[in-house]
Amino acid sequence: MSLRFLFIITVVLCTILSCSSSNQTTQQSPPDHHTAQNALDWQGTYSGILPCASCSGIETEITLNNDQTYVLTQEYLDKQNVFTSKGKFTWQNNNIQLEDSASKDSKIIFKVEEGRLRKLDTQGNQIEGAMADNYILFKSGNFEIENTKWVLSEINGNIIKGKSETHYLIFHSKERRLEAKANCNSLSFNYKIRNQQELRVNQGMSTLMACPDTTELSLAKALNKSIKINRDADILSFYGKDQQVLIKCVKSQE
């Protein structure tokens, strides 16, 4: 009886271990549902200059909308030819394809990456080699500069001795609004940043308090003349057409 009892116990234990092992073998990791479509803030406008076989480059701007429609503008430099197209795009994993480029030789496919689009070849493959980085369009704006308070330190070569509460700039990315102050009045401008450094500031508005100096007037004029920005560590510089530094700011420590 004892041998029979031991045999039954052994069979039961083997069955339990076998089932446990089988469950562990067949259990699979849950699928990764994080794709560019649902994990990245892909909506917006992207721009850059793409390579061109018969010209010096194709200045390209594409806007991707929430409803999966797009507007694409392509300017062939040197030839002054501008083409604009509108339509819908479809998702293919982390890539998007413009629907009106369906023929084999004219497919336009982009890989959606953080803050940029990478143009792929007509087969959906990434372009390799020395020219690889030239096929990237950057999203309008610059997350390293926007939504941060920058304290004014210099305007047109003149040192500004102000506080972070009274002499500052903030690029508000969601509204595309540049908030500024250079003593007493609050200034507000619409702005656009392309290719992370190209800057366009439109004429702004201001409150109407009488200020003791002309610093804010100098700031407004310098902003309207600025066409480029560059961040070097905690210093933000604004440049005019002649590459002259118009404004310098220091990142606020608040």
Residue 14 has pLDDT above 80, yes or no: no
pLDDT tens digits, 144-190: 999 999 999 999 999 998 899 999 999 999 889 999 999 888 999 99
Distance of CA 155 to the CA centre of its chain: 28
The CA distance from 232 to 164, in Å, is 19
Model confidence pLDDT, tens digit, residues 82-126: 999 999 999 999 999 998 754 555 789 999 999 899 999 999 999
Spatial contact of 200 and 192, defined as CB atoms under 8 Å apart: yes
Q: pLDDT digits over 212-224, tens only?
A: 889 999 999 999 9
> CA 137, 107, 95: angle at the middle one, nearest 5?
55
CA dist., res. 70 & res. 92, Å (int): 16
Q: Domains in the chain and their CATH numbers?
A: 36-139 (2.40.128.640), 149-251 (2.40.128.270)
Phi/psi at 185 (nearest 5 deg)?
Answer: -85, 150
Residue type, 184: C
Question: How does pLDDT run across 50-59, given as a tens digit for each residue?
Answer: 999 888 999 9
